[in-house]
């Protein structure tokens, strides 16, 4: 048996975590001067209330080496190898800390997802499927590295003030998006975030054009599954996006999940993205 693990920024639903037997180690969310455990003591709605309603600052803290060491010790106590999928090293020190902690264990393998949210989550799910098929840890790690090269992810953000507070965008960019009514697409590429196309108009119109831009007339899509992840989007918006996805690509499965507190703390409400694989 191989144990698959990820951190709470992978944004997989509780149902998927249970179904695929994926363990989670949470990051820490800091609101004002109070620290909370992601997914256990704080939810995205709490963050939005604190930031928008109460004017508090919000940031996240990486999992430290000691926390990883304790976590890996518990997982390996069952005498099974562990493959841990980490939030990309370009976004957090979680990966580096996990690698250092894993040096104390002969059978703990740490993968740099080079992504965030369900970009990492899809790797955890694929790892679980490969483990079920009887692949060795080494074979799974090699396959995951190949999948990373073929993973495509991005998201449209309604407002940049959360990214601005986290130091991930300039004040000039923030003011420009407000004045021009722009919803930027943030691309996750080579383990980093870059600004892609900018959409004018309402968020609903922006995400519709975004899906068309990403999926229309593509011949290189792996149609097994696509991940649609959002932060506080309305059910109507999510349903509309699902319809738009199937209009352009007949994915066998659309996995819908809500961004957890770690991701929501940086992107804010009304954010929507898709992650999928190329063939």
Residue 23: burial class (beta carbons within 10 Å; 0-12, 13-18, 19+)? middle
Residue 165 is predicted with a pLDDT of 62
Q: Which of 103, 122, 149 is the last residue of a domain?
A: 149
Quickly count: other Cβ atoms within 10 Å of residue 78's Cβ: 9
Q: Are residues 111 and 170 in the same domain?
A: no
Looking at the fold, whether 113 and 237 belong to one and the same domain comes out as no
Same domain, 196 and 60: no
Q: In the numeric block, which tokens belong to residue 233?
A: 């989007």
Q: How many domains does the chain have?
A: 2
Residue 242 has pLDDT above 60, yes or no: yes
In the chain, the percentage of residues whose pLDDT exceeds 70 is 93
Residues 234 and 179 in one domain: yes
> Do the Cβ atoms of 267 and 155 come closer than 8 Å?
yes
3 state SS of 162? helix
Side-chain-facing half-sphere of 239: CA atoms under 13 Å:
3
Can you give the CATH number for the domain in which 213 is found?
Answer: 3.30.1180.10
Quick one: 40 and 81 in the same domain? yes
Whether 85 and 72 share a structural domain:
yes
**Same domain flag for 144 and 155:** no
Examine the domain organization and report whether 9 and 145 are in the same domain: yes
Cβ(69)–Cβ(25) under 8 Å? no
What is the separation, in whole angstroms, between the first and last Cα of the chain?
Answer: 28
CATH number of 7's domain: 3.40.50.10170
What domain range includes position 51?
Answer: 3-149
- Average confidence score pLDDT of the chain: 93
* Residue that finishes a domain, picked among 125, 149, 173: 149
Q: Are residues 145 and 52 in the same domain?
A: yes
Alpha carbon of 135 to those of 75, 139, 186: distances in Å?
Answer: 19, 6, 35
Interval 114-152: pLDDT, tens: 999 999 999 999 999 999 999 999 999 999 999 999 999
pTM score above 0.85: yes
Query: Are 23 and 131 part of one and the same domain?
Result: yes
Same domain, 16 and 142: yes
What is the predicted pLDDT for the residue at 101? 98
pLDDT digits (tens, 9 = 90+) for 220-238: 999 999 999 999 999 999 9
CA dihedral 205, 206, 211, 217 (to 10 degrees): 80
HEC profile of 49-66: HHHHHHCCCEEEECCCHH
Helices (H) and strands (E) in the chain, counts: 12, 13
Listed range (59-73, 144-158, 184-198) with the worst mean pLDDT: 184-198
**pLDDT tens readout for residues 2-18:** 999 999 999 999 999 99
Q: Which of 101, 83, 196 is nearest to 147 (CA)?
A: 83
Of the candidates 113, 99, 25, 15, which has an alpha carbon nearest to the alpha carbon of residue 65? 99
Residues 114 and 27 in one domain: yes
Domain end among 127, 149, 171: 149
């Amino acid at each position: 048996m191989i144990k698959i693990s990820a951190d709470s920024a992978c944004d997989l639903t509780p149902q998927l975590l249970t179904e695929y037997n994926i363990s989670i180690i949470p990051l820490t969310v800091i609101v004002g001067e109070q620290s909370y455990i992601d997914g256990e003591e704080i939810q995205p709605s709490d963050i939005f209330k604190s930031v928008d309603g109460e004017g508090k600052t919000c940031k996240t803290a990486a999992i430290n080496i000691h926390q990883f060491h304790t976590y890996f010790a518990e997982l390996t106590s069952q005498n099974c190898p562990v493959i841990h999928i980490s939030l990309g090293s370009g976004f957090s020190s979680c990966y580096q800390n996990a690698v250092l902690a894993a040096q104390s264990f002969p059978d703990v393998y740490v993968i740099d997802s080079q992504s965030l949210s369900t970009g990492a989550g899809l790797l955890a799910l694929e790892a679980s499927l490969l483990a079920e098929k009887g692949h060795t840890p080494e074979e799974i790690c090699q396959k995951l590295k190949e999948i990373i090269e073929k993973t495509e992810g991005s998201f449209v953000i309604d407002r940049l003030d959360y990214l601005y507070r986290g130091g991930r965008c300039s004040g000039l960019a923030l003011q420009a998006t407000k004045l021009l009514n722009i919803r930027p697409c943030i691309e996750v590429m080579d383990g980093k975030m870059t600004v892609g196309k900018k959409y004018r108009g309402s968020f609903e119109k922006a995400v519709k054009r975004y899906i068309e831009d990403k999926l229309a007339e593509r011949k290189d899509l792996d149609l097994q599954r696509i991940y649609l992840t959002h932060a506080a989007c309305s059910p109507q918006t999510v349903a509309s996006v699902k319809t738009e996805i199937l209009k352009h690509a007949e994915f066998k499965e659309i996995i819908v999940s809500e961004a957890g507190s770690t991701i929501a703390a940086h992107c804010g409400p009304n954010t929507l993205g898709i992650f999928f694989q190329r063939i």
